Structures are given as C-alpha cells and as structure tokens.
Amino acid sequence: MAETQLSIEAILAQDLTLCRVNASSKKRVLELIAEKVAKHYPELEDSQVFNSLIARERLGSTGIGQGIAIPHCRIDGCVRVIGALLTLSDGVDFDAIDNQPVDLLFALIVPKEATGEHLELLSQLAEKFNDRHFCDRLRQCEDPDSLYLAMTGH
C-alpha cells in the first residue's frame, strides 16, 4: 500500500496559524508553538512537544536562511502529522545558517514512525519557502485568516 501524499493544507489547522506574534526569543517561539499544538491536540503534552522541538534544535538549527525556520520533531503518541504556521512581528535569533533573524516559521510535528511523510513535507515546505514572492505574501498578511489562505493557496 502506497503512502498517501500529505499536503500542507491537510496538516495545517486554521487554529495553528498565528500572525504577527510577539516573541522575544527562539525558546519563547518554540514554547508558544508547543502550547498552541497541545491546546488543539489534547492528546499531546505541551512540555513533550517543546522538549522534542528543543532537542531537535540542539542537533542543529532549523533556521534555513532568509528569515525562515522549519522547526520539526517526531513524537511518541502523536497520531497524525501536525503543522503550525507563524509570522513574528519582529525577527528572533534562531542560529540560522545565514545568521539572519527568523520571522517566518512552519513547525512540523510528526508521529515517531512517519519518516517518509516527514521528509516529503519538509521538502515541500523548503520548496515553497524558497519562493521569495510567496514568503513576502505571507509576511504581508495582517491576520491569521489571510495567512492561512496565503499558505494553503486559496
């Protein structure tokens, strides 16, 4: 049986699309992502999500350059792929490869065993975020609804 192709639209809940968030640090951004994910998916603990995201960052920053980061982790007990999209009102230091502050993030939380899906989605995201016009459009959004629509292509 072939793995089903996951789309960004299928994994991104409107409630996990946050626009112009105030965050003072990388740690605070990851805490906020963990809080929002756990609130939307009660089967997950915010501390578990946060610790998994931090553990992944310790392996190397998920800041891919040009103000963009794709923090991601695998979690035991996670039953589906979860996406969260955030724009920040001010960029934060994310130890990105180009040392630029990050203001655009797409977090990916995946089940422990979902390796293929995880890599496929990371590559879809990297491709989308490689398009400067697309990123500019996301950064210009004033509210979560327009941000969600810009990300999902509606």
Q: What pLDDT is recorded for position 5?
A: 63
Catalytic annotation, residues: 72
Q: What pLDDT is recorded for position 115?
A: 74
CA–CA separation, 153 and 88 (whole Å) = 20
Question: Which one-letter amino acid corresponds to residue 33?
Answer: I
Q: What pLDDT is recorded for position 3?
A: 43
Q: What pLDDT is recorded for position 66?
A: 95
Q: What angle do CA 9, 15, 16 make, to 5 degrees?
A: 70
CA–CA separation, 132 and 146 (whole Å) = 18
Q: Which residues, 6+ apart, have CB-to-CB distance to 113 below 8 Å?
A: none
Domains annotated for the chain, with CATH where assigned, are 10-152 (3.40.930.10)
Q: What pLDDT is recorded for position 1?
A: 34
Average pLDDT along the chain, 154 residues, taken 10 residues at a time: 65 95 96 97 96 96 95 92 96 95 96 81 89 96 96 83
